[in-house]
Structure 1
């Protein structure tokens, strides 16, 4: 290794490693407990895929888990709401009003949101929640990789392969029997 190569490595390595990490976010117990939302409905999983209106290329993936409580696994996401405290890419208190705000946050002139929902047995929703809690904060651009990794560990979702591409995940999720799909488009 030449001196110039070593210097480039020594100078560049910290920047490269910084790009591979994400700052942990850990809301206090009191905030999480106060925000906990239970829908009272059947257990379900909802995949959100944000797509570019011009190219239809996927830009982001997240997973709403409706089990003993309603949380959003939003790896590397940027959505924030005072009523929805975060712990390492898991947002708590994800009521229908917060869900609408989340979708509206992403749906605009340049992007639309594909919403795919499927009812699941309660133990599957609880397993998804445990996996989301255990995942930790993801680096930027790892949203679909983390979401697909979580999903393929669940019973009935083993056909979903690991992928970095939101469209591939959306297509695989949509191929599962019982998935209902809708699009949300806004112009603001």
Structure 2
């Protein structure tokens, strides 16, 4: 069989057209794949951008919540400190140290006086202070055994004088002594 030049030309033309078509199909496939990857990358970018915006909103809400909680913590710490101070004051007001002074000769009467520290108490030398400084943080009273108010006052001044940094309330019979719970406003 003899192959003619026209047949060969036609065969070459068809082969070239097929190769060109295949080349176009491959290029279109590459472009389509590239566009698909670009679209996927764009979707991933948009998702991450949306996630970042959501994360920023959550972070802002958490920052506001944290600020609120810090304010509440400060408020509650203040309340706690105030409550502890009030509790300590209440504890100190409920504790009463009773000092007894005088002789039980015969049938003496019992007198009462409250003791407190003077303004210069903090400046006094330690050897001048009666008892320990810590007991003066509590309510201190004295029961005086004496035959008269004047004798009770004298015994009181001998035991707790101004040189010790202690001041006393007026001496009264024990029956007339104020109730410590009434002084604190308790019922």
Asked if Structure 1 and Structure 2 have the same fold, meaning a TM-score greater than 0.5 normalized by the shorter chain, the answer is no
Greater radius of gyration (CA): 2
Structure with more strand by fraction: 1
Structure with more helix by fraction: 2
Give the TM-score taking structure 2 as reference length: 0.29
